[in-house]
Amino acid sequence: MSIESSSEPKRIILLMRNSTYRGQAFYEAAKKLEIDVITGLDIHPDLADYWKVPLALQFDQPDEAVREIVEFTRQKPVQAVLSVDDSASLIAAKASEALGLIHNSSESALAARNKYHMRRMFAEGGVSSPQFRLFEMTDDPHRVAAEVTFPCVVKPLLLSGSRGVMRANTPAELVDAFHRLSRMLTGLNRVPGSTQILVEDYIPGVEVALEGVIDQGELKVLALFDKPDPLDGPFFEETIYVTPSRLPNEVQAAIADCAGQAAAALGLRFGPVHAELRVNDAGPWLVEMAGRSIGGLCSRTLRFGLNNMALEELILRQAVGLEIDSFSRATEASGVMMIPIPMAGILKAVTGVEAAGQVPGIESVEITAKLNQPLTPLPEGDSYLGFIFARGETPGAVETALRQAHQQLDFTIQELLPVI
Ligand code: ADP
């Protein structure tokens, strides 16, 4: 008997923030699989009744959130507790542990949230990863500059999406970057690690993103994305992702090995994995790995098996123990462009969306930024103008289509006048 014919109803808890782009794709996959989804939303209890949220949690209070989840499941048992992104991976790991469900170690979930923990675990596991040093944001940046080597990268421990990540080639640039990051951190909630700054060696090379899933302890590579736009700094804005990779097969194999070692070093045993690696003459280097799937709307580029299964369906199938007929990506090339914010200001108008959508190979163009709302570019910002999706026969054709579509778009951004 196949597991799918079992009549046992499936139910999961899906943890997310209101602001995530990831929810819809998981809801669609769950509906297809007839899995009942309880959304565990990061929301203040005072607002939970008003919004009629069945499971209101505060992600900045993980122990309390775990207690709430365990209490909730007494009435409604679940097969899995998943977090759609890094924001609740620690809560998902701890709740799964408390409920006796398969889960990643809470250390790995912590590492996914804290870049310093991650670097330490990579170093202990012998994973190729940059040398690093930890500082307090109140440290004298001139002293920091005397202690590190150049070029280096200055970064916060707890932010994501390249926020606050800056390259410094000289002591003077390091001092500026350190001040700039300290200013950003001052405005954030105080939690352990939020006032610390990591400085690490800059790793030159081309960058790739690896999407994988850990199945029975083994990392299966679902897709390797090339990032054809150079990411040389001083800020590291994601733009184009194209899969399959055009790197030679032996380089791709070395990347997969390095990612497998990294997953083991972090104690990731189950579920989705997303990693960024750089490759140079010394081989692959692990920049970052998380126990979650690809962010934003980017998973739309991926389809698996004969039935064009979505990544979220694959993740949910694994989580509740349903069969997965194939981990193989559909053969055609595909890609996405995360449309960067060119300058700070207020978004007043967007034109050319239709023309961009008509470029051969373009599947869709989604502008996610809202009109009349402020836009903040990196390193302070945390969003994109939108996403362009393309498919084609070759990775080169996909890349060309994405660039041509982007050229059709025009964004009117009104500069903010400084307050005097
Ligand atoms: P985040 O979690 O915010 O995305 P990362 O540590 O992954 O932060 O850094 C974001 C990007 O910055 C990386 O994808 C990479 O392009 C660049 N980067 C980060 N650290 C280094 C490094 N040590 N050397 C070279 N580039 C780096």
Q: Which of 85, 114, 236 to mutate to test the pocket of ligand 1 (most atoms within 8 A of CB)?
A: 236
**Average pLDDT across the chain, whole number:** 93
Q: Is 155 in the pocket of ligand 1 (CB under 6 A)?
A: yes
Mean pLDDT of 288-303: 93
Q: At residue 305, does pLDDT exceed 80? A: yes
Least confident residue range of 44-53, 238-247, 326-335, 369-378: 44-53
Q: At residue 360, does pLDDT exceed 90? A: yes
Q: At residue 96, does pLDDT exceed 90? A: yes
Residue-wise pLDDT for 380-411, tens only, equals 998 899 999 999 999 999 999 999 999 999 99
CB count in 10 Å sphere of residue 126:
10
Q: At residue 8, does pLDDT exceed 70? A: no
Share of the chain above pLDDT 90, in %: 82
pLDDT score for 418: 66
Indicate which atom in ligand 1 lies nearest the CA of residue 132: 23
Indicate which atom in ligand 1 lies nearest the CA of residue 160: 3
Nearest to 376 by CA among 417, 416, 341: 341
Residues 6+ apart with CB under 8 A from 367: 339, 350, 353, 385, 386
Which amino acid residue places its CA nearest to atom 19 of ligand 1? 287
Q: Is 162 in the pocket of ligand 1 (CB under 6 A)?
A: yes
Which residues is 310 bridged to in the sheet? 303
Q: Is 153 in the pocket of ligand 1 (CB under 6 A)?
A: yes
pLDDT band at 202 (very low <50, low <70, confident <90, very high): very high
Share of the chain above pLDDT 70, in %: 97
Whole-prediction pTM: 0.94
The alpha carbon of 327 is separated from its chain's Cα centroid by a whole number of angstroms, namely 20
Cα 44 to ligand 1 centroid, rounded to whole Å: 32
Q: At residue 162, does pLDDT exceed 80? A: yes
pLDDT band at 355 (very low <50, low <70, confident <90, very high): very high
Rank 105-109, 114-118, 295-299 by mean pLDDT and report only the highest: 114-118
pLDDT score for 123: 97
pLDDT band at 206 (very low <50, low <70, confident <90, very high): very high
Q: At residue 60, does pLDDT exceed 90? A: no
Mean pLDDT of 71-90: 92
CA angle 194, 108, 125 (to 5 degrees): 105
Q: Is 159 in the pocket of ligand 1 (CB under 6 A)?
A: yes
Residue-wise pLDDT for 246-272, tens only, equals 999 999 999 999 999 999 999 998 899
Q: Which residue has the higher pLDDT, 173 or 269?
A: 173
Sheet of strand 345-351: strand arrangement:
374-375, 345-351, 410-414
Separation between Cα atoms, residue 261 and residue 277, nearest integer Å: 13
Cα 142 to ligand 1 centroid, rounded to whole Å: 23
Least confident residue range of 58-72, 98-112, 147-161: 98-112
Q: Which two tokens stand for residue 347?
A: 């978004």
Q: Which residue has the higher pLDDT, 20 or 45?
A: 20
Q: At residue 322, does pLDDT exceed 60? A: yes
Which amino acid residue places its CA nearest to atom 5 of ligand 1? 162
pLDDT band at 3 (very low <50, low <70, confident <90, very high): very low
According to DSSP, the β-strands at 55-57 and 35-42 are parallel
pLDDT band at 4 (very low <50, low <70, confident <90, very high): very low
Q: Which of 163, 274, 287 to mutate to test the pocket of ligand 1 (most atoms within 8 A of CB)?
A: 287
Indicate which atom in ligand 1 lies nearest the CA of residue 288: 7
Cα 109 to ligand 1 centroid, rounded to whole Å: 19
Q: Is 327 in the pocket of ligand 1 (CB under 6 A)?
A: no
Q: String of b and e for 237-253 (b: at least 16 CB within 10 Å)?
A: bbbbbbbbbbbeeebbe
Q: Is 276 in the pocket of ligand 1 (CB under 6 A)?
A: yes
DSSP label of 307? T
pLDDT score for 154: 98
Cα 200 to ligand 1 centroid, rounded to whole Å: 10
Mean pLDDT of 125-145: 97
Domains along the chain with CATH numbers: 10-111 (3.40.50.20), 131-201 (3.30.1490.20), 332-420 (3.30.470.20)
Q: Is 397 in the pocket of ligand 1 (CB under 6 A)?
A: no
Q: Which of 165, 285, 378, 382 to mutate to test the pocket of ligand 1 (most atoms within 8 A of CB)?
A: 165
Q: At residue 420, does pLDDT exceed 80? A: no
Separation between Cα atoms, residue 258 and residue 266, nearest integer Å: 12
Sheet of strand 80-83: strand arrangement:
55-57, 35-42, 10-16, 80-83
Indicate which atom in ligand 1 lies nearest the CA of residue 203: 24
